[in-house]
Amino acid sequence: MFALVDVNNMYCSVERVFNPRLDGRPLVVLSSNDGACIARSNEAKELGVQMAQPWFQVRHLQKSHGLVALSANFELYSDMSARMMAIASRYSPNVVPYSIDEAFIDFSGIPGDLTATSRHLRATVLQELGLPTSVGLAPTKTLAKLANHIAKTCDRKPGHYPTEQSRRLAQVCNTAELSAAELETLMAATDVGDVWGVGRKIAAQLNAGGVRSVLDLVSADVATLRRQFSVVFEKTVLELRGTPCMGVEEAPAAKQQILVSRSFGKAVTHLDGIVEAVSEFASRASEKLRLQGSVAGAIQVFIRTSPFRENERQYSPSVTVPVRPTADSRKIVSAACEAARSMFRPGFNYAKAGVMLVDLQQAESLGDQSELDLFGSGEPEASEGPDRSALMQAMDTLNRRFGRGAVRIGSTTAAKANDAGATSWAVRQDRRTPRYTTRWNEMPVVRG
């Protein structure tokens, strides 16, 4: 038996914990550069604000409807997420975080009434963190996701499903407690597009074939669906029918690729700005790489203009540079900058860049080869300076203690922040709230 627990409107709910005056008001949280809405309170959804909708399209609602917008405060959200996962772990030894705001809980072997347990979990998260959650329980992950969707919908739109069920299933929905007929009623009233694994493209094709509700989908022929779509989608349908196709997946696997990319606050036209940004992204990516104990075998760099500026010339090259497996910021940064220089062409308004580390392997599986550069004796850095991994460790420790960017590779931006315009590409975040739980000097203060 799986439970899927997730925080309702996570980013908005977190902001409200620290500023209760936001309760009841339409609220959105914006992506970097305050570009698009990535979280919406129920009130904002009522106003018609869509997921990922550009902020400039809805900003007029500030005046007319009191819409409030905040810049994303990921440091705060991550910390609150970790606290939520810790609480969930009190209820089962096997909790697998799925995203920042949700986790699968494996309840196999856990005795007692699991619906009651889930309500208790929900109450605990609400009391200790102030965050509202929903829980879906079912024998497969896809059904647990569906149950979670139903629990949330029953809570938010009481008229959507039959009244009696709406009351009973709001906040916590356990498919094991539903009769077959009841489950069919709910599936018939749920859009096929709300299923986990059905995106816009597949939903459109299903609709065109007359498959509109979840009930339509589970009644369709699996072999045909597999042929029309893929084995991935076949699993989705089987799971909806109650056949488990997705395992528990303990220990979250190390990432297979690490990407750091960002849209620029302002268009960048000069090579200097591009190199600074790429250097910064490569540096961040290297930190993430070391955090999971991996080394990278190749570095992929891309730069691109804005596809939204249709009347401007477009250019979006990408270059992959193979390297001897390494986690050294200096090597990764210099390879990434080299790639950026080779791609750069003047005359374009660049809007975004990114650095992806691929061909990742666990460092220990390579022995000392990567750290010592056994085959790189010809390179000057192989035989000089302090031990590389010790240096990187020291850098990571200082950055953790004193805040990101305290110690940097020479070529990254802040090192030359004095140059006029050096940070023209930096993100804009005009509306970010304090990082209440992770920075001493931003801690909330209570005055008597």
User: Which two structure tokens, joined as six digits, stand for 94?
Assistant: 């096997």
Stretch binding DNA (CB under 7 A), from 171-179, 180-188, 253-261, 432-440: 253-261
- Binders of DNA in range 101-130 (CB under 7 A): 101-102
Stretch binding DNA (CB under 7 A), from 34-42, 126-134, 412-420, 439-447: 34-42
Burial category of 419 from C-beta neighbours within 10 Å (exposed 0-12, middle 13-18, buried 19 and up):
exposed
Rounded to the nearest 10 degrees, the angle between the axes of helix 74-88 and helix 10-18 is 100
Of 304 and 331, nearer to DNA (C-beta) is 304
Of 200 and 401, nearer to DNA (C-beta) is 200
Q: Which of 310, 307, 319, 371 is nearest to 343 (CA)?
A: 319
Of 180 and 253, nearer to DNA (C-beta) is 253
Q: Which of 292, 264, 291 is nearest to 278 (CA)?
A: 264
- Binders of DNA in range 288-347 (CB under 7 A): 288, 306, 308-309, 320
Three-state DSSP class for residue 353:
strand
Q: Provide, rounded to whole angstroms, the least separation between the CB of residue 133 and DNA.
A: 13
In this chain, which of 32, 92, 140, 294 binds DNA, going by CB under 7 A? 32
Other C-beta atoms closer than 10 Å to the C-beta of 356 total 21
198 scored as a contact of DNA (CB under 7 A): yes
Buried b / exposed e across 181-190, counting CB within 10 Å, b at 16+?
Answer: ebbbbbbebb
12 scored as a contact of DNA (CB under 7 A): no
Q: Provide, rounded to whole angstroms, the least separation between the CB of residue 109 and DNA.
A: 26
Q: Provide, rounded to whole angstroms, the least separation between the CB of residue 257 and DNA.
A: 4
Q: Provide, rounded to whole angstroms, the least separation between the CB of residue 358 and DNA.
A: 8
223 scored as a contact of DNA (CB under 7 A): no
Phi, psi of 95 (to 5 degrees): -115, 125
85 scored as a contact of DNA (CB under 7 A): no
- Rounded CA separation 335/294 (Å): 18
In this chain, which of 230, 342, 383, 397 binds DNA, going by CB under 7 A? 230
Strand spans (E) along 13-144: 27-30, 37-40, 68-71, 95-99, 102-106, 133-138
202 scored as a contact of DNA (CB under 7 A): yes
Q: Provide, rounded to whole angstroms, the least separation between the CB of residue 225 and DNA.
A: 12
Q: Provide, rounded to whole angstroms, the least separation between the CB of residue 164 and DNA.
A: 27
In this chain, which of 181, 231, 251, 446 binds DNA, going by CB under 7 A? 231
63 scored as a contact of DNA (CB under 7 A): no
Stretch binding DNA (CB under 7 A), from 42-50, 133-141, 156-164, 258-266: 258-266
405 scored as a contact of DNA (CB under 7 A): no
Supply angle C-alpha 31, 36, 41, rounded to 5.
Answer: 85
257 scored as a contact of DNA (CB under 7 A): yes
- Rounded CA separation 188/87 (Å): 34
362 scored as a contact of DNA (CB under 7 A): no
Q: What is the widest separation between alpha-carbon atoms in the chain?
A: 76
Of 273 and 354, nearer to DNA (C-beta) is 354
Q: Provide, rounded to whole angstroms, the least separation between the CB of residue 131 and DNA.
A: 14
Residue type present at position 308: F
232 scored as a contact of DNA (CB under 7 A): yes
203 scored as a contact of DNA (CB under 7 A): yes
For residue 251, give Cα distances in angstroms to 91, 94, 97.
Answer: 17, 9, 10
Q: Provide, rounded to whole angstroms, the least separation between the CB of residue 218 and DNA.
A: 16
R_g of the chain, CA atoms, integer Å: 25
Q: Provide, rounded to whole angstroms, the least separation between the CB of residue 77 and DNA.
A: 11
- Rounded CA separation 187/202 (Å): 18
258 scored as a contact of DNA (CB under 7 A): yes
Residue type present at position 328: D
> Among the residues of 360-435, which ranges form H helices?
369-372, 388-402
Stretch binding DNA (CB under 7 A), from 109-117, 119-127, 197-205, 434-442: 197-205
In this chain, which of 17, 259, 271, 366 binds DNA, going by CB under 7 A? 259
In this chain, which of 135, 195, 301, 333 binds DNA, going by CB under 7 A? 195
Phi, psi of 148 (to 5 degrees): -65, -45
Q: How many CA atoms lie within 13 A of 60 on its CB side?
A: 2
Cα dihedral value 189, 190, 192, 198, nearest 10: -170
351 scored as a contact of DNA (CB under 7 A): yes
Of 256 and 362, nearer to DNA (C-beta) is 256
Return residues touching DNA (CB under 7 A): 31-33, 35-36, 38, 51-52, 54, 56, 98-102, 145, 195-203, 230-232, 253, 255-263, 267, 281, 288, 306, 308-309, 320, 351-352, 354, 427
